[in-house]
Structure 1
Amino acid sequence: MEITYPCGREEIEAVLPHRAPFVWVSRVLACKPGVSVTAELDVPADLPLFSGHFPDYPVLPGVIIMEALAQAASFSLLVERGAEGAIGFLAGIDNAKFRQQVRPGDTVTLEAEIVKSSHRLCVAEVRASVDGRVCATATQKYILANGDAAQSAPEGSQV
């Protein structure tokens, strides 16, 4: 699949298996398949999760920021492998740091650099920022699986 950048939801959904309401990448600005990616997430003020997190002071949960980063990194990996639609299971998050809150109306820049990519295990250094201010950083690990291979993912792994 040939993709030109920047690209939007149509191309993202052609690569990632995620669907609404769990697609956490609004657009991909740049991608060097299997090497790096820069994407963005628009954080709408009317996200239903803000009614509970927190009603008087809405903040995007850190786990959603980590998921958005994992989806951006997986986009780069899946495009490089020609494995559009394969499932990526989050296998680990090391050294996660949350430095800045993400609020309704923010646009989060999602950056990932792939530092290891073998047949099944991939590792990425990830960073989320808003207006140049770093919100979160981590080292993430993923296991990629196709169709029936998803059944063999380690117990406890998450998409």
Structure 2
Amino acid sequence: MRFMLVVKASKDSEAGVLPSPELVAAMTKYNEELAKAGVLIAADGLHPSSGAIRISYPEPGGKPQVVDGPFAETKEIIAGYTLIEVKSREEAVEWALRMPDPHGFGEGEIELRQVFDFADITPDAELQAREAAVRARLGRGN
């Protein structure tokens, strides 16, 4: 089972304030523990939404709309993520609880979301095979 630990943005992360050296060290240690346990797939921080682009589809079949950041609602914005593969939801929660406060000022918020396996999305064997081929080219089995 794959889970994404979604780190919500804060006013500081949206202002481009970089984490303290102590927080960087704590996050590095956490990522090393995930890797050593064999559950880490990816972990990255994201630039502020001031450099982001949002693409929306306001009407079915309509032309997409492009809006440049920044975006107003900080609690709706993602500042980073960690992607893990574990045996259970409980294990994912345990790992999420071990993550240091992602902003280091008591403002951190992590949302834990299970990632769909492609087979959960469609029973179509041909589409599953095509998706598996794409993932194999990327070096990922899920």
Say whether the fold is shared (TM-score over 0.5).
Answer: no
Kindly name which structure, 1 or 2, has the bigger radius of gyration based on alpha carbons.
2
Structure with bigger helix share is 2
**Which structure has more strand as a fraction of its residues?**
1
Tell me the TM-score normalized by structure 1. 0.30
With normalisation by structure 2, the TM-score equals 0.33
